[in-house]
Structure formats: C-alpha cells, structure tokens
Amino acid sequence: MNAEIIAVGSELLLGQIVNTNARFLSQQLAVLGVNVYYHTVVGDNPDRLKTAIEIAEQRSNLIIFTGGLGPTKDDLTKETIARHIGKELVMDQAALESIELYFRKTNRAMTENNRKQALVLDGSHILPNDHGMAPGMVVEDDGHIYMLLPGPPKEMEPMFSQYGALALSLQLETNEQIVSRVLRFFGIGEAALETEIIDIIDRQSNPTIAPLAGDSEVTLRLTAKHIDLNTANSMLDELENTINKRVGEFFYGYDNTSLLEELTKCLKQKKMTIAAAESLTGGMFQQELTSIPGASSVIKGGVVCYSAEVKQNVLKVKQETIEKQGVVSEQCAKELAENVAALVSADIGISFTGVAGPEELEGKPVGTVYIGIAIKGRPTIVEKLNLGGTRNANRIRTVKYGCLYLLRYLKESQNAK
Amino acid sequence: MNAEIIAVGSELLLGQIVNTNARFLSQQLAVLGVNVYYHTVVGDNPDRLKTAIEIAEQRSNLIIFTGGLGPTKDDLTKETIARHIGKELVMDQAALESIELYFRKTNRAMTENNRKQALVLDGSHILPNDHGMAPGMVVEDDGHIYMLLPGPPKEMEPMFSQYGALALSLQLETNEQIVSRVLRFFGIGEAALETEIIDIIDRQSNPTIAPLAGDSEVTLRLTAKHIDLNTANSMLDELENTINKRVGEFFYGYDNTSLLEELTKCLKQKKMTIAAAESLTGGMFQQELTSIPGASSVIKGGVVCYSAEVKQNVLKVKQETIEKQGVVSEQCAKELAENVAALVSADIGISFTGVAGPEELEGKPVGTVYIGIAIKGRPTIVEKLNLGGTRNANRIRTVKYGCLYLLRYLKESQNAK
C-alpha cells in the first residue's frame, strides 16, 4: 500500500505552524509497513485541494488528510472530498452529543457552526475524537482509502494511535506481524551513540534500527517483522541486549516514557515522597512531575527559590554560604536539598541552582549548574554540570539530569541493601 | 508570483525529521509578497522527483527545492533538475575552493564525493554557503525560476536570508508593500470569535483576516498590501479598531507575545514583584514566568503546595478552612494568595487551586478551579473557573486565566487612580 499525506491549512503555507502531523503519521505508517511517497500541503482553498486530491489518487491508494475539520467557514476538507467522490454529509449523532457535552461541561454557549463539526461522510467509519470536537473518518471509494483527521496534533495523534492505525491494519493484507520498540537514552549525543553502535546499525536489516534525536534525548526505534509474533519479539530482545551491552548506562526506558515517569514509578514502588527547591529551573521539575496523574502520592510540594532572599528566609540557607560561596555553589545546593525535605517532611529533597544566563553570575559562567540530592539516612550528594545550550534548553536538561542522578542514587542504595 | 516548495529527502517521508524548512521559507516568502500555494515532500528518488517538478511547473512559476545537495549517492536534486531542463553540471571554482578550505580548517581528509558538491547548474546564479559545503543556486528556464537550497536548516536559513531573498526580489516586479500584524485573544473560542466578526471577515479582501486557533488561544493575522507603507499600516490600524470594538475584552497583545510576557512587562513598568502559591498548576506559572530573561526583577519565588499539608504547614492556611471548605475553595485560594505574598515579601500573591483529575475531589468535579489574587493595599479577589479539557490542558488554561485576570485587575487599579 502506498500512502500520501495531505495537510490542509493556509496557516502552514504562511509558515505560521510547522507540519509535525506529516512526520508523526509517516513514523506510524512506517511501522505499519505502508510506504509514504509524498507529503503535500495545500491551503484552505477547495479548488486547489481538489487538484491535490486528483494528483494523489494517481499515485497513492491511501490518502490521509489532516486539518480543515474545524467549525469555521474556511474549514472545507470534508465538504471538498464529499463533492469529489459524490457522497453526502450526514449528521453523526454520537459526535453531536459529544460536542454538546463538551459545551455543557465548560459552561460555554454552543454556536451553530460547531454543529457542522458533527457532519460526516455518508458510509464512513468514524474515528472518535477523545481530545476535541471534530470526529475523524475513513471511507473507501473506487480503490482508494481516504482518511480524514483533525489538524491539532493533540487531537490527531491520539486519534490515529487509538483508532486510525487499527482501521488501517484491517485494510492491509500482509500476514507479517510488525513489532516496534523504542529505546530511550539520555546523557549521550546522537553522533556519539551512533558511533558506538555503527557496526550493529550497518549489519541490521530485520530488525531495523532508526535513531532519532530530540529534546536532548536520543531514541532508537527497533522494528522487527515476522509471521510469528513471539519470534518478532525475541528478535527485538536480542538486538536490545546487544545494543545495551555497549550503551546501557545511558538507557532509561521504553517507548513513550520519560525520565520523570520512570522516577515517579520508582518512588511509588519504594513508597517515598519528594520535595524540590528550584532556583534555576523555576518550578519546571515540580510542574512536570505533577503533570503525571497520581503524582500526589510521591510529591508533596516544594519551593521556587528564585531570589537569594527566598533561599535564605524560606529555605534557611546560611548567610555565610550565600556570602562566601554564593547561591550557585555545592554548599548552597546541599542546604537547599536538605532544608526543603525538612520543611515539607519529605523522604527526599532535590535542588537545582545555577546560572541561567544570558549574563554570568557570581563570576560563574552561564550553564554552571549544581543539583543537590538529599535522601533520608544517606549522605547528601551534589552533582555539577557545565551546560552549553540556551537558557531554556539548559533548564530542560537540568531537570532531566536531576531525574537521572536521583534514579541512579536510588538504585545504588537498592544495590547496597 | 506563485511559489511551491519541494523538499527532497526520504528521511522526511520516514518521519525522522520534520519539514521546518518549508515553514521558514513560507514565512520569508510571505514577507516578500510571494504567494505559496503548495508544499511537497518527495523522497530521494529521481523519477518521483521528476514527476513532482512537472506538477509544480504547471501551477507555480517559482519552485524552491530544499535538500539533496549533499555528497552521497542518494543526493540527486541538481542532477535531476539538470536533466529535466537540459542543462549541464559544471564545476564552480569558488565553491570548490571553499570546500577545500573547509577540510583544511577542520583537519579532515576531503573525499572524492565532496567534489561533487561543487558542481552547479550551468548559467545559474550561485548562492554561497557560509555554514556548510553545498552551494545554492538560482536558474531561470522557460518562464520558471528554480532555486536550489541545501537541506540542513542551519545552512539553508542563513543562505536564503543573506543571498536568496535578494536574488528573488530582483525577479519580483511589484512595488507593493506587504504588512502583517497578528492580534492575540484569550478566553474566547475560535468559533465564538468568528461569529462575532463574521461580517467583517466576509467584507474584507485588503487587508485580509486569517484566524488561527492553538494552545487555547485564538489569533487573527491581518495583512495589508499598498504601495505606500504608511497607508498599509493605517489600513491595519483601522481594521484592528473595528475588530476590537467587538471583541477587545479578549485581546491581549500582538505578534509573538504571550500572556506571561505581557504580565512581565506590566509588572516591570509598575515595579511590582509577584509570588505564587501553586497547587493545581504544580509550578507551571513560576516556571513559565522565570523562562523569560530578566524575570528576576519581577518574581522572587513561591511555593508549590501540592499537598494539603504544605498548604497548612508552609503557607499557613487555617485548619478550619481546609476542614470546612476544602482545599478547592474560594477561601483557600484567598489565604494562599495572601500568605504566599507575605512569606516571600512580594507586592502581589497569586494562587491556583483546583481539581486536576482524573478523579473528583471534595465532591467538586474535575475542572473546578479557583484563582486568588492579592495585591498590596487592595481587596483580594478570587475567580472561579469550570474547565472541561484534559488534565494538562486545564493546567495550561488556568495559568493563562491567572495572567488575564491579574492584568485586568492591575489595569482596573490603574484606572481607579
């Protein structure tokens, strides 16, 4: 099966947003074994969209559309496809009810143009939208499969993963099972990781290995094909072992996990609570930890100690420490970690202090970071980093290093037992 | 002039990278007044690339290619175009010398396939590559302009800005100036905003109005064309006034600003400091505020009071309040805002408490939110929200509503003076 992805939206052609949907769908289709030969972006213009559909029909049998399912007058994807393949648009009761419910829950008035979002192509298979209003749909006509998905990634991605991929697998004829597993690494660059395992990458054809870098992490997607699912999984296990013999110290988890999720899991398992004192990171560690449902069993809270005054008055860092060693120092990180744990009565205290930039501080260069970790009944440790990125990239990496160091320290203490 | 952007590279079709080049070039072309009607992505396959060129020639007179100028065997953009328009590839001495210099400077050995990068289309205008090896080029043939740019954004972007844009302006015949302005709104949905101003949108052709929704905000991009720059700007001013007479209460700023940046500006101007007590939002408000350089003059810090215990022990919320009214209550929000300002000695205290979900809390439904605002010398106010989104969407909207309410209250106090 050959696919083409058509993104509809003038905002893409004006450069207001970037087409991340095409990337996401391409990755997903690769896993399903579908070849993607073209991406197209076209504006909110029915004539030009029609031309794009006609071209796509000549070269692909699966055409996936993203965008243009919104409530406004310039959202015309389903109307254009309906006219093109000669199908009616009909009201989908389930979608309409879900839109009405959304408005009732948010106490907002539903307008007439929101009803338009519940119109679907007659005879299509509906893909529910769990994160927004416009339903997706799949329809077959004259040897082509048309899949319509909403434009916002936070609606489109879960819709495709939950419902779209399944709808497509039913259309695929292969007996081969395709299994995919993502290995996540932090603390090593993409080029360095690739250098370590280049001979393995070059040797492989099944499973395949696809490295990808982003958000200062590196992932390897391993994909195996086999008629037997167990064999495919064993192939992945074996390859994973070979890779982690070389670079296992940087490996931290699978698929869509994050360092913070791994930390949450570990704390829950040990029934330990954590508190944070955040200067450099300004609350990022706590915000991300509390974004995980069920966080309340592991995090009680903490202090954002952006100013020296808050470090001293609220977190009781000694005046001597601030005067002699500064707020960006090993000793300050140590006191912050220990004192925030005490203030909040948590088992673990973690602290982040450093020079965010753009200017240096206390004669220390931008990117100097101290992370303090105080675990009840164990010696407090402080790790130092010298980061070279932008202000925001450094904050993100600092939080991730904090998780990595804490996970390592927690595992050490486990091994010591 | 109508343009199409063709990105060449199988890594795009596999979803390994995202096509940020198309976005960058679209933005740049919009400024130059060039209409972009299509983006296309095609793999490293000469036949499919040839088909894409033929289609583009039928609908655009400017075709910009990114990618496929590298040294390896699968880089075939210029070879394919050369064959298609019947031009030879010739060695460009300046490009060759610059490649040789690059290898000498980095102490690396130059390989034969790097010489290939200095081959250019005969008769083309060369765009120097200041950040890599492959030169860009512009060539005219049979009524079409072909521009070839390298794929890596760090090479392509400066090449276009420094040399490509100028080469294009020389080809453009228009004297019209194009001015664009983005109006940002929060607290109103896209459909509701459009309903309010639908007659204005329908009437307009110059300036044009393009609505866009994302991150729970709505923006309107107004674009005017006129030979006189001042007249174009006045046309935008007039349209902006007309729009804001209807929906001005939701308008908060221009172009790439954010509610947090507007708040920072306002606090700096008033020389006021702020502290936050964050339960529901877990540190998000402070993390975002401190991500803006220079935040230290307006934010001292605050407390992430995720547990009831921290609310009581660190922020001194009365036991009676927690027992009788609960942690998600108007009274709790009031005490949190007032007490965090006192704890940190800030002029303003803001608090966020609510039910994040997935389960309800204290019999209050998911999405119930209280925002407390305590400004020194003024009565503390508490705003209540009923949000209907996901856990994370609700946290983001809560922070934004906090900024909006605080900005309004600060402006009221200004008007009262």
Neighbours of A178 (CB within 10 A): 17
Burial class (CB in 10 A: 0-12, 13-18, 19+), A288: buried
Give B-chain residues touching A395 at CB under 8 angstroms.
291
**Mutation for testing the B interface, residue in A40, A41, A343 having most B CBs under 10 Å:** A41
Q: Which of B137, B5, B138, B11 is nearest to B72 (CA)?
A: B11
Helix (H, G, I), strand (E, B) or coil at B256: coil
In this predicted structure, the answer to whether residue B246 has a pLDDT above a threshold of 50 is yes
A285 and B CB contact within 8 Å: yes
Task: Give dist(CA A301, CA A415) in Å, integer.
Answer: 28
Q: What is the mean pLDDT of residues B179-200?
A: 89
Confidence grade of residue B114 (pLDDT, cut at 50, 70, 90): confident
Mean pLDDT of chain B, nearest integer: 90
Token representation of residue B367: 């999405």
- What are the tens digits of pLDDT across the range B288-344? 999 988 888 999 999 999 999 999 999 999 999 999 999 999 999 999 999 999 999
Q: Which of B362, B388, B378, B364 is nearest to B412 (CA)?
A: B378
**Subunit contact B23:A19, Cβ cutoff 8 A:** yes
**Subunit contact A24:B38, Cβ cutoff 8 A:** no
Cis before A358 (ω within 30): yes
- What are the tens digits of pLDDT across the range B7-48? 999 889 988 889 999 999 998 898 787 899 999 999 989 999
In this predicted structure, the answer to whether residue B162 has a pLDDT above a threshold of 50 is yes
Q: Which of B253, B254, B294, B269 is nearest to B403 (CA)?
A: B253
Give B-chain residues touching A289 at CB under 8 angstroms.
282
Name the residue of chain A whose CA is nearest to B42's CA: A38
pLDDT of residue A414: 61
Q: Are A63 and A53 in contact (CB under 8 A)?
A: yes
- Per the listing, tokens 């200062």 go with A216
- What are the tens digits of pLDDT across the range A295-337? 889 999 999 999 999 999 999 999 999 999 999 999 999 999 9
- Candidate from A30-34, A55-59, B32-36 with smallest mean pLDDT: A30-34
Task: Give dist(CA A319, CA A322) in Å, integer.
Answer: 5
Nearest-by-Cβ selection for A22 from B41, B313, B395: B41
Q: What is the mean pLDDT of residues A111-125?
A: 90
- What are the tens digits of pLDDT across the range B205-235? 888 887 877 778 888 988 888 888 899 899 9
pLDDT of residue B416: 55
Q: Which of A332, A374, A338, A322 is nearest to A353 (CA)?
A: A332
In this predicted structure, the answer to whether residue A416 has a pLDDT above a threshold of 60 is no
Q: What is the mean pLDDT of residues A87-105?
A: 89
Task: Give dist(CA B181, CA B220) in Å, integer.
Answer: 8
Burial class (CB in 10 A: 0-12, 13-18, 19+), A375: buried
Give B-chain residues touching A391 at CB under 8 angstroms.
291, 293
Angle at B268 between CA B267 and CA B273, to 5 degrees: 55
The better pLDDT of the pair A252, B294 is held by A252
**Subunit contact B212:A345, Cβ cutoff 8 A:** no
Q: Which of A71, A86, A82, A15 is nearest to A49 (CA)?
A: A82
Token representation of residue A391: 């202000």
A31 and B CB contact within 8 Å: no
Instruction: State what percent of residues in chain A have pLDDT above 90.
Output: 65
pLDDT of residue B175: 62
Nearest-by-Cβ selection for B282 from A22, A210, A290: A290
pLDDT of residue A262: 95
Helix (H, G, I), strand (E, B) or coil at A222: strand
Q: What is the mean pLDDT of residues A102-118?
A: 83
A221 and B CB contact within 8 Å: no
**Subunit contact B214:A152, Cβ cutoff 8 A:** yes
Residues 346-385 of A with CB under 8 A from B: 356-358
pLDDT of residue B106: 65
Task: Give dist(CA A296, CA A58) in Å, integer.
Answer: 54
pLDDT of residue B174: 58
- What are the tens digits of pLDDT across the range A211-233? 776 667 888 888 888 888 899 89
Task: Give dist(CA A66, CA A387) in Å, integer.
Answer: 38
Give B-chain residues touching A190 at CB under 8 angstroms.
none
- CA-based nearest distance B5→chain A, Å: 10
Q: How far apart are the first and last CA of chain B?
A: 54
Provide φ and ψ at B51, rounded to 5°.
Answer: -60, -45
- Candidate from A76-80, A82-86, A246-250, B385-389 with smallest mean pLDDT: B385-389
B86 and A CB contact within 8 Å: no
Instruction: State what percent of residues in chain A have pLDDT above 70.
Output: 96
Confidence grade of residue B413 (pLDDT, cut at 50, 70, 90): low
Q: What is the mean pLDDT of residues A368-391?
A: 93
Give chain A's domains with CATH numbers: 2-171 (3.40.980.10), 177-254 (3.30.70.2860), 259-416 (3.90.950.20)
In this predicted structure, the answer to whether residue A175 has a pLDDT above a threshold of 70 is no
Show Cβ contacts of residue A57 under 8 Å, excluding neighbours closer than 6 positions.
A63, A144
**Subunit contact B30:A11, Cβ cutoff 8 A:** no
Mean pLDDT of chain A, nearest integer: 90
Query: Number of CB pairs < 8 Å for A and B?
Result: 267
- Spell out the alpha helix ranges (H) of B325-378: 330-344
B31 and A CB contact within 8 Å: no
Name the residue of chain B whose CA is nearest to A276's CA: B304
Distances (CA, A) of A372 to A188, A332, A354: 22, 9, 11
pLDDT of residue B98: 86
The better pLDDT of the pair B66, B162 is held by B66
pLDDT of residue A417: 47
Give B-chain residues touching A284 at CB under 8 angstroms.
283, 287
- DSSP letters of A313-370? HTT---HHIIIII-SSSHHHHHHHHHHHHHHHT-SEEEEEEE--SSS-BTTBPTTEEE
**Subunit contact A391:B309, Cβ cutoff 8 A:** no
Give B-chain residues touching A306 at CB under 8 angstroms.
286, 290, 295-296, 299-301
Residues 98-117 of B with CB under 8 A from A: none
Neighbours of B109 (CB within 10 A): 6
Cα-Cα-Cα-Cα torsion B292, B295, B296, B300, nearest 10 degrees, comes to -110
**Subunit contact B388:A111, Cβ cutoff 8 A:** no
Confidence grade of residue B417 (pLDDT, cut at 50, 70, 90): very low
